[in-house]
Amino acid sequence: MDLERTRRRQSLKVIISEAIMVIAVILMVTILAFIVSGYWVGSDFKIERQGLLQVASVPTGANVEIDGSSSWLQRTNTSKVLSSGEHTIILTKDGYDSWQKTITITEGLLYRLNYPRLFLNNRQSEEVLNTVGVTAASVSQNRELMLLLNGTTEWTLANLNGDAVEYKKLDVSKVFSTVSLADDATVGLFTGEIVSMDWDKDNSHILFKVVSGTGTEWVLVDVRNVSNSINLTKSFGYDFDTVKIINNSSSALLATQNGNLHKIDLTNKSLSSVLAEKVISFSQYDNEVAFFASETEVSGAETDNKPYFIGLLNLGDSRVDKLTTISTPGQVAYSRFYDNKYITIFTDDEALLYKKDESSDPISFELKFTPDTIKIGHNGEFIALSSGNKIATIDMESLKLSEWQAEGNSRFGWLDGFMIYSVTDGELIVYDYDGLNRRVLSSNVSARFPVTITNNKWLYYFSDNNLIREWLIPR
C-alpha cells in the first residue's frame, strides 16, 4: 500500500514538474515574442512598446551616451532597447573627437547608426609623393587606388593600402585619340579634356569621357593591364551621349546614342538593338533599368497629357513596363534598401520616392534647388541630390530630407561611403552625409584634388605639391 502511494506521489511530482516546465517555456517564448515586437517594462513598471538601436563606430569601442546618461556596458558596437521618440546619442573615446546626433526611435522597429567616425586628435602626417606636374587625380571605389594624371600619356597608379605606398606607370598613348606625339617629346602629350572618370566596383577599370576638337570619346582603361583597354567610340562607331558600367568587372555597359538605349557586351564585343527610345536618364540595379524618357509608344501606354514617363526595363527579356507619367523632365535613380527597391525621380524642385512593386503614392520631398547629380549611399542607406555645393539627402532609415550646403565655392567630395568633405581657404572640413558633425581636420589642403580615407588607417590629401598621409590610428 505504501509502495503504491509512493508511486502515485512520484507520478504527481513528474506531472507537476512537466507542467511547470511547459508553462515556463510558454512564458519565456511569450516574453521573447514581446521583446522582439518591441515591448518592454518601463521605469514606472508599465509595459510599453519600444524600439531597438544598433550603434557602430570607427574606431570600435567608443563610449555611448544616451540622453545624457552612460554606463560601462554601453559601447559600440552594440544594441540598446529605447523608448519610442527622440533620443540624443553622443559617442566619445579617449584621444579622439566626439560625435553626436538626435534620432527618432519608432516602436517595434530597428534604427541603425553604423557610420559614425571619430577622428584621432594630434594625428601624425608624412609626405608620400611629390606631385609636381600632376593635373588631376581619381580614387577607386574601395579607396585603395589613386590614379595621378599629368599632361602626358604616362600616368601613375598609386596603391594606397599598404604601409608603404606603391606606384606603377600606365602608358595610355595607344588608347586615346586625343594624343599628340611631338617630335621633342619623350612620351605622348595628352591633348583632350577629361570630363569624367568612373571606376568599376572591381577597381580594375576606369571609364573616361574625353572631349577634344574632334568630338567626344568614351574609353574604358584597364588599370591592371592597359593593353586590354578599349576605346568604345572607335570600336562601335557611335557618338555615345552617356555610358555607364553596369557590372563589377566592366564587361557590360549601358549607353545612349541620340536617346536610344543600348547594352554593350564586351565579352563578345557586341552592341544590342535599341532597348528604349527617347531616354533622358537611366539607372540600373541588378537586371533592371529604370529610365526617364519622353513619351513614346509603349505597350498599353496612355499619355495622360504628360509628355514624360518613367519606364522599367528588364535586361533579361528586353521587356519595358511603364510605371508613371511625369509633367516635367528630370533624372532617375534605382536603388535598394533592406529588401525593398526604390525608384527616385527628381525634377526642378521636387524628389519623388517610389517603392517598387507597390501601387501606393510616392513620398514627395520639396527641394530648394534644382539638382544635377545623384549619389546612392552605402547599401542604399541614403540618396544624395546635389548641385554645386548644395546638397539634399534622403535618409532611407527615417525617410527624412536634409538640405544643407557645404562650405566654399567648389564642389564637395565623398570622403568615404558616408562622409562628405569640402576645402575652404585651405581648411579640410568634413561632415556626415546629412551635414551634421562638421569638423575641421587639416589646413593647407589643395581643393583641386581628391581627399580620401583608406583602410580606416590613413587620411590622404594634397598639399604644397605633395601627397600627404595622416595616420588615423595611434602609431
131: nearest Cα among 471, 454, 446, 431:
446
Cα distances (angstroms) measured from residue 190 to each of 50, 152, 229, 253, 377? 61, 5, 17, 25, 34
439: nearest Cα among 426, 456, 421, 453:
421
Q: What residues have CB less than 8 Å from 366, skipping those under 6 apart? A: 349, 350
Q: How many domains does the chain have?
A: 1
Distance CA 345, CA 329 (A): 10
Beta strand 154-159 with 145-149 is: antiparallel
Instruction: Give domain status of residue 9, yes or no.
Output: no
Instruction: Give domain status of residue 305, yes or no.
Output: no
pLDDT string in tens for the chain (475-residue length): 566 666 666 666 667 776 677 677 777 766 555 555 555 555 554 555 688 999 999 999 999 999 998 776 688 888 888 888 999 999 999 999 999 999 999 888 888 899 999 999 999 999 999 999 999 999 999 999 999 999 899 999 999 999 999 999 999 998 998 887 665 556 788 989 999 999 999 999 999 999 988 889 999 999 999 999 999 999 999 999 999 999 999 999 999 999 999 999 999 999 999 999 999 999 999 999 999 999 854 444 444 567 999 999 999 898 999 988 888 888 999 999 988 999 999 888 899 999 988 767 899 999 999 998 899 998 899 999 999 999 999 999 888 999 999 997 777 999 998 999 999 999 999 999 999 999 999 999 999 999 999 999 999 999 999 999 999 999 8
Instruction: Give domain status of residue 342, yes or no.
Output: no
Burial of 124 (0-12, 13-18, 19+ CB in 10 A): exposed
Distance CA 475, CA 458 (A): 11
Instruction: Give domain status of residue 136, yes or no.
Output: no
Distance CA 250, CA 425 (A): 38
Instruction: Give domain status of residue 410, yes or no.
Output: no
Burial of 261 (0-12, 13-18, 19+ CB in 10 A): buried
Distance CA 378, CA 393 (A): 13
Beta strand 110-113 with 47-55 is: parallel
Cα distances (angstroms) measured from residue 302 to each of 54, 123, 277, 305, 354? 46, 61, 16, 8, 20
Distance CA 370, CA 347 (A): 7
Q: What is the CATH number of the domain that holds 89?
A: 2.60.40
Residue 107's domain comprises: 39-113
At residue 2, the pLDDT reads: 64
Distance CA 345, CA 290 (A): 10
CA 182, distance to chain mean position in Å, is 42
